[in-house]
Amino acid sequence: MEVTITINGEQVSRDVEPRQLLVHFIRETVGLTGTHWGCDTSNCGACVVLMDGLPIKSCTTLAAMCVGHEIRTVESLERSGNLDPVQLGFHEKHGLHCGFCTPGMLMTARALLDHTPNPTEQEIRTAISGQICRCTGYQNIVSAIRWAAEHEAATRQEA
Amino acid sequence: MQTPAPFEYERASSVDGAIASLQEHGAEARLIAGGHSLLPMMKLRLATPAFLIDINDLDELSYIEEDTAEVRIGALTRHAELLESDLLAGHFPVFRDAEQVIADPVVRNRGTIGGSLCQADAAEDLSAVCAALKANVVIKGLDGERTVNMDGFYIGPFTTAVGADEILTEIRLPLRQGAGSAHEKVERRAGDFAIAAVSAAVWLQGGTIADAGIALGALGPTTIMATRAEELLRGKAPSEELFAQAGEIAKEDCSPLPDGRGPVDYKRHLASVLTARALRRATARALHQEAN
Ligand SMILES: Cc1cc2nc3c(=O)[nH]c(=O)nc-3n(C[C@H](O)[C@H](O)[C@H](O)COP(=O)(O)OP(=O)(O)OC[C@H]3O[C@@H](n4cnc5c(N)ncnc54)[C@H](O)[C@@H]3O)c2cc1C
Ligand code: FES
Ligand code: FES
């Protein structure tokens, strides 16, 4: 079937099988390999992308279900050479080791800050509770997201 | 890489259209809402529908509304919306208790109440919640609508009163005086299904329990109503002793299976402790003195 999905602001049309999962559509059909695929049980969250601004697990959504919706992947965070504050936060606070969970963590963090600009540590921990990181022990990820929130608040004040 | 077996896909643009399509494609067809129970099952080939009817465009099934007699929830309302609803938390705090511990926030952006009830997995928290509140559900088919009480909704494991060419459209929660409710769940880690869960509701009248609803989750092949425990409570003044007795009955009347989440004796122990805890919190809320 022919599907047209808006990915990172661009309309992408492809002929796919109805059974194709969004994560495979993004990675294999469109070729955006920033989004990761880490499990078959909808547990790991490496595949998280934004659908109409909300984080969803792209391994548990059919590409066909996304027709008419806006999908944002990790590739959309950097704009004209400038990293998004959440990316800077992960860099500053060492929020990753192997990086496998990072694209999902970044997208969940972005959505959290869009809806809750000044989250508490508990709110951050809850937001990422559907995502598994085997390396960092989470503390650095939480600090990275806090850093991004503070950085964004400072930038807003300057503007 | 696990991908579902091949199927045809169609998007419904109306409830009647979805019903007509179910009718046309027969037993091979399935509705898909959030897809967060169905797609994992399809990846494992535990479900192999040949035809999927996507109901996500049916905005008319997404609402939480209140009138004088009841609160009505559209079947496509998502977990995240149920969690955020102050209307729901005000009348039925059991919803927010449960939604805080159902899956994780990302899953909650997609999963729906209709999908949760129709999945008919004994570990679905909302099945226990709706059963304890003695909800009625509206089922629509070619011949019109019918209403079924939650105590007749589950026919067996993964089987409900919803026919193959029918759709669940609404959940109705009766508004009654003196209500209090709570959900208690023990899970292995954040985001997991329950090892055991208990939803309880009480309706107080002049210091005594006029009626009670107790539903046990993940403690048998389907969601279990602890009817003997409910009977014990009716007409009595709430007390710690009474809650403990109700817990002992729940422990006897559940029928948990041993699995990776725990052995039978542990689950029975949880049935007893969680029933008493849920009753205690439900009663405190009914008395407007939330205690934890
Ligand atoms: C990682 C993970 C963890 C989870 N943890 C929990 C948990 O802790 N507690 C919990 O309760 N749940 C949990 N869930 C399940 C989650 O709540 C699901 O969202 C829910 O069970 C199903 O809702 P859905 O809308 O996704 O249904 P779907 O998967 O779309 O559908 C499920 C079934 O219901 C049928 N159906 C759907 N809507 C209707 C309708 N309106 N009328 C008739 N039939 C319909 C479908 O045909 C299908 O058979 C978890 C899920 C995941 C992926
Ligand atoms: S790939 Fe693991 S949750 Fe999606
Ligand atoms: S950085 Fe390795 S899994 Fe998170």
Label the pairing between strands A2-7 and A70-72: parallel
Say if B74 falls within a structural domain.
Answer: yes
Say if B126 falls within a structural domain.
Answer: yes
Q: Are residues B48 and B97 in the same domain?
A: no
By most ligand atoms within 8 Å of CB, the mutation choice from A57, A108, A133 for ligand 2 is A57
Q: Are residues B37 and B85 in the same domain?
A: no
pLDDT tens track for B50-86: 999 999 999 999 999 999 999 999 999 999 999 999 9
Q: Other C-beta atoms within 10 Å of B192: how many?
A: 15
Q: Can you give the pLDDT at residue B2?
A: 86
Average pLDDT over residues B126-152: 97
Q: Are residues B200 and B115 in the same domain?
A: no
CATH number attached to the domain at A85-154: 1.10.150.120
Dihedral through CA B115, CA B119, CA B120, CA B121, nearest 10?
-120
What residues are paired with A119 via a beta bridge?
none
Cβ contacts (< 8 Å) between B107 and chain A: which residues? Answer: 42, 57, 60, 130
Q: Can you give the pLDDT at residue B292?
A: 39
Answer yes or no: is the C-beta of A133 below 6 A from any ligand 3 atom: yes
- pTM, two decimals, is 0.96
Q: Are residues B154 and B84 in the same domain?
A: yes
Cα four-point dihedral sign A40, B162, B197, B290: positive
pLDDT tens track for A32-74: 999 999 999 999 999 999 999 999 999 999 999 999 999 999 9
Q: Can you give the pLDDT at residue B291?
A: 40
Last residue of a domain, one of B174, B207, B233: B174
What's the CA gap between B148 and B152, in Å, rounded?
Answer: 7
Answer yes or no: is the C-beta of A125 below 6 A from any ligand 3 atom: no
Residue B158: pLDDT band (50, 70, 90) is confident
Q: Is residue B165 pLDDT above 60, yes or no?
A: yes
What's the CA gap between B242 and B233, in Å, rounded?
Answer: 7
Q: How many distinct structural domains can be found in chain B?
A: 3
Average pLDDT taken over every residue of chain B: 96
Say if B218 falls within a structural domain.
Answer: yes
What's the complex ipTM?
A: 0.96
Say if B3 falls within a structural domain.
Answer: no
Dihedral through CA B151, CA B83, CA B80, CA A43, nearest 10?
-80
What's the CA gap between B109 and A45, in Å, rounded?
Answer: 13
Q: Are residues B101 and B156 in the same domain?
A: yes
Q: Are residues B222 and B285 in the same domain?
A: yes
Quick check: helix, strand or coil at residue B176?
Answer: coil
Smallest CA–CA distance, residue A158 to chain B, in Å, is: 32
Cα four-point dihedral sign B11, B17, B20, B24: negative
Q: Are residues B16 and B93 in the same domain?
A: no
Say if B57 falls within a structural domain.
Answer: no
Ligand 3 atom with the shortest distance to the CA of A134? 3
CATH number of B197's domain: 3.30.390.50
Decide if A64 touches B, using CB distance below 8 A. yes
Domain residue spans of chain A: 2-76, 85-154
CATH number of B75's domain: 3.30.465.10
Say if B149 falls within a structural domain.
Answer: yes
Q: Can you give the pLDDT at residue B156?
A: 84
Average pLDDT over residues B40-45: 96
What's the CA gap between B277 and B265, in Å, rounded?
Answer: 18
Q: Are residues B218 and B141 in the same domain?
A: no
Q: Can you give the pLDDT at residue B157?
A: 83
* Tokens at B125, concatenated: 């928290």
Residue listed under structure tokens 């547990």:
A43
Q: Is residue B1 pLDDT above 70, yes or no?
A: no
CATH number attached to the domain at A2-76: 3.10.20.30
Cβ contacts (< 8 Å) between B11 and chain A: which residues? Answer: 64, 67
Cβ contacts (< 8 Å) between B44 and chain A: which residues? Answer: 40
DSSP of B234-284: TTS---HHHHHHHHHHHHHH-----BTTB-HHHHHHHHHHHHHHHHHHHHH
Q: Can you give the pLDDT at residue B61?
A: 98
Say if B1 falls within a structural domain.
Answer: no
Chain B interface, best mutation among A19, A61, A101, by max B CB count within 10 A: A19
Residue B67 sits in which domain range? Answer: 63-174
Q: Are residues B112 and B143 in the same domain?
A: yes
Say if B24 falls within a structural domain.
Answer: yes
Residue A6: pLDDT band (50, 70, 90) is very high
Q: Are residues B70 and B133 in the same domain?
A: yes
Q: Is residue B290 pLDDT above 70, yes or no?
A: no
Q: Can you give the pLDDT at residue B127?
A: 97
Answer yes or no: is the C-beta of A45 below 6 A from any ligand 2 atom: yes
pLDDT tens track for A10-43: 999 999 999 999 999 999 999 999 999 999 999 9
Q: Are residues B166 and B188 in the same domain?
A: no
What's the CA gap between B251 and B247, in Å, rounded?
Answer: 6
Q: How far apart are the first and last CA of chain A?
A: 47
Instruction: Report CA B195 to chain centroid distance, whole Å.
Output: 16
Dihedral through CA B31, CA A129, CA A56, CA A19, nearest 10?
-50
Last residue of a domain, one of B52, B71, B86: B52
